A and B are shown apart, each in its own frame.
Chain A
Amino acid sequence: MNVIQTHDLTRRYGATEAVHALNLAVPAGSVCALLGPNGAGKTTTLKLLMNLLRPTAGRAEVLGVDTAKLGEREFAQIGYVSENQQLPLWMTVQQFLDYCRPFYATWDRALEQQLLAQFQLPVDRRLQQLSRGMLMKAALLASLAYRPRLLVLDEPFSGLDPLVREEFVHGLLEVSTQGDWTVLVSSHDIDDVERLVDRIAFIDAGRLRLNEPTEALQGRFRRVEVTGGSDGTDARAAAGELEWARSGQLTRFVATAYAGEASERDWRTRFPGATFNIQPMSLREVFVTLARTRATGAPGGAA
């Protein structure tokens, strides 16, 4: 079952199309990263999912309910943390938690206390006096203490220094072991979320480029170096090959549809007598390749 499902979701701001015919599915229990460069449409997508914005066309379902009809019952099961959210900054951390608590029947006081200790939040300090990292932790705490079924994090790491970012990720990793929830986290940097996620959706210019488990993604991406095997005059990038470059006897490309022995057999046919160096890629390398390919408009087929 998909906790999030969009159907040709589109949002325009005047002539600008921020999100275009997005068909995103996030299965229950997964931790999905919504990745993309700045301005790709991540925040707009999340706001559409939270019914903070209305779609220009298409629709979305969250927890099986059309987002236009999200109400008290659904929001009691959703945690949303965003860098842009206007928190009641005049409240102390304790007042903030005291204010949020009565709205949730499932609020877990023991978990609240545990997270308070874990995040080392000063309960008597006003939110406006907290550092950005602390503020995000307070918002996260107020979104975790009721054990939501769905946690949506919009650029939670943006602007955090590396130490605080590490603490934040560590905190998320720890609490993620305590509940059976689905997480959708947006970021423009794969490093932030690499350790957290088991699924990646890549969005660029409002269009969803890929959406699949990290394992499958890493399984089908390979950096390939081919030495010899062709004089280069008739060498061309095949479908699904990105960053294709040839220099003398050396051909380099990124294969996006690596299928083990079958792919290698195909390459041996295209490059007879060549030697191959086939390396798996990290998620960061995959992300950078995709972002760079889209930015330069380079050919290479769909990823």
Chain B
Amino acid sequence: MNLVWHIIRKDLRRLAWAYGAWAVAGGYLIVYRNLNIVQRSIWDNVGIVALFTFLALGIALIATVIQEDGLCGANEFWRTRPIAAGRLLTAKLVLVLASFAVIPMAFALALRPGQGGEFGAIGALSIYVLALAAVAACTKDLGQFLLVAVGCVMIAPALGGVLASVGPVGELTKPEAVSLSVTKIMLLHGIIGCAALGILINQYLTRRTRLSRWALATTVTVVALISGLWRWPLFG
């Protein structure tokens, strides 16, 4: 466990300034959105910049944390050192999930208690963080990561929309439609989470990058198929 913390400390030291900027943006958003102590009319533009910074920097930080000890090339320093892949994966997962899912959500929810669904929100955010980490694990650098991530985010819904428009159209009552929507959300989150975890484990433990990229493409396709063609409500 000490070595896991050793790796986490190394990444935090490496990204200290970016983490600082991201935390400031996040802190401002929490204050702005939750405490209402800032006059919105004055700070609207700052709020937009803070939100953009928070999201963009957060996504870039997730990618950088993973790619700091890269998985796609044959020249990475860590691979010829006694750093077990499982240990490295643990360190990376602990860092990205704590930094970008648990702590921010805990802060946000602490300032707005009694809203309910806290664990669901943290779970959903964790799945998005895992998905971004999985894309980062299959790509060589930040540029390639952004290209693939944006591609996945655009292709899945676009393909899903096309499939929905050509697929069978059924008559659903309103409760059925709501149930279908919940079903799709649950299924998609489950699939994305499992696929992301599988890709991360494959990349770290076997480093079969081609297989991981195929899994990524398959996941995007399955997500599009479910969002476009799934017609069976399972959850209420």
Contact B74 A102 (CB under 8 A): no
Q: Give B1-41 interface residues, CB cut-off 8 Å to A.
A: 2-3, 6, 10, 13-14
User: In the complex, how many angstroms separate the beta carbon of A126 from the nearest chain B beta carbon?
Assistant: 12
Tell me if B76 counts as interface (CB < 8 A to partner A). yes
Known: A72-B84, A73-B82, A103-B82. A88 touches B77 (CB 8 A): yes
**Chain A contact residue count (CB 8 A cutoff):** 25
Q: Nearest chain-B residue to A70 (Cβ)?
A: B80
Q: Please state if A78 and B74 are interface contacts (CB–CB under 8 Å).
A: no
A-contact bits for B136-161, CB 8 A (1 contact / 0 none): 00000000000000000000000000
Across the interface, which residues of A come within 8 angstroms of B3, CB to CB?
Answer: 102-103
A47 contacts B74, C-beta separation under 8 Å: yes
> Which one of A79-87, A182-190, A209-217, A229-237 contacts B?
A79-87
Q: Is A104 an interface residue, CB under 8 A from the partner?
A: yes
Known: A52-B74, A85-B75, A86-B73. A103 touches B14 (CB 8 A): no
Judging by beta carbons under 8 Å apart, are B2 and A86 in contact?
Answer: no
The smallest C-beta distance from A191 to any residue of chain B, in angstroms, reads: 26
**B80 — which chain A residues lie within 8 A by C-beta?**
50, 52, 75, 78, 80, 85
Selected from B13, B70, B82, the residue in CB contact (under 8 A) with A72 is B82
Q: Separation in Å of the B60 CB from the closest CB of chain A?
A: 16
Quick one: CB contact mask for B71-92 with A, threshold 8 Å, 1 for yes? 0011111011111100000000
Q: How far is the CB of B87 from chain A (nearest CB, A)?
A: 8
> Which of B75, B76, B77 is packed against the most chain A CB atoms within 10 Å?
B77
Specify which chain B residues have a CB less than 8 angstroms from the CB of A95 in the assembled complex: 13
Q: Is the CB of B14 within 8 A of A76?
A: no
B77 touches A87 (CB 8 A): yes
Pairwise interchain contact A90-B75, C-beta atoms closer than 8 A: no
A90:B2 contact, CB within 8 angstroms:
no
Q: Establish whether residues B82 and A75, one from each chain, have CB atoms under 8 Å apart when the complex forms.
A: yes
* CB of B162, distance to nearest CB on chain A (Å): 35
- B70/A86 in contact, CB under 8 A: yes
Q: Distance in Å from the Cβ of B67 to the closest Cβ of chain A?
A: 11
Pairwise interchain contact B77-A76, C-beta atoms closer than 8 A: no
CB pair A103 B75 closer than 8 Å: no
Render B91-116 as a binary contact track against A, CB cut-off 8 A, 1 for contact. 00000000000000000000000000
* Chain B residues in 8 Å Cβ range of A51: 79
| Interface 1/0 per residue, A49-91 and B, CB below 8 Å | 0111100000000000000000111011010101011111010
**In the complex the two chains form, is B82's CB within 8 Å of A102's CB?**
no
- Residue from B13, B74, B75, B82 within 8 A of A76 (CB atoms): B82
Nearest residue (CB) in B for A81 is: B80
- Alpha-carbon separation in the docked complex, A47 to B77 (Å): 12
Which chain B residue lies CB-closest to A48? B74
Most chain-B Cβ atoms within 10 A of its Cβ — which of A50, A75, A76, A100? A75
What residues of A have a CB within 8 angstroms of the CB of B14 in the complex? 88, 90
Query: Least Cβ distance of B33 to chain A in Å?
Result: 34
Would you call A52 and B75 a contact (CB within 8 A)?
yes
- Please, how many angstroms separate the alpha-carbon atoms of A53 and B209 in the complex? 12
The reply to whether B83 and A82 contact each other, CB–CB distance below 8 Å, is no
Once A99-B10, A102-B2 are accepted as A-B contacts, the answer to whether A86 and B76 lie under 8 Å apart by CB is yes
Chain B residues lying within 8 Å of A100, measured Cβ to Cβ, are: 81
Instruction: Tell me the nearest residue of chain B to A77, going by C-beta.
Output: B82
> Which of A52, A88, A99, A104 is in CB contact (< 8 Å) with B79?
A52
For the complex, what is the distance from the CA of A102 to the CA of B81, rounded to whole Å?
Answer: 11
Given A99-B10, A102-B3, A102-B6, answer yes or no on A72-B83 (Cβ-Cβ < 8 Å). yes
* A86 lies within 8 A of B75 (CB): yes
- Residue from A53, A85, A104 in contact with B82 in the complex, judged by beta carbons closer than 8 Å: A104
Min CB distance B181 to A, Å, is 45
- In the complex the two chains form, is A84's CB within 8 Å of B2's CB? no
Give the residue name and chain of the B residue nearest to A100 (CB): B81
Beta-carbon nearest neighbor of B15 in chain A: A90
A selection of 10 A-B contacts at a CB cut-off of 8 Å is A50-B79, A50-B80, A52-B75, A52-B79, A52-B80, A71-B82, A71-B84, A86-B75, A88-B10, A104-B82
Which 4 A-B residue pairs are closest in the complex by CB-CB distance?
A80-B80, A76-B82, A72-B82, A52-B74
Given pairs A72-B82, A87-B77, 20 additional interface contacts (CB within 8 A): A50-B80, A51-B79, A52-B75, A52-B80, A53-B74, A71-B84, A72-B83, A73-B82, A78-B80, A80-B80, A85-B75, A85-B80, A86-B73, A86-B76, A88-B77, A90-B14, A95-B13, A102-B2, A102-B3, A103-B3
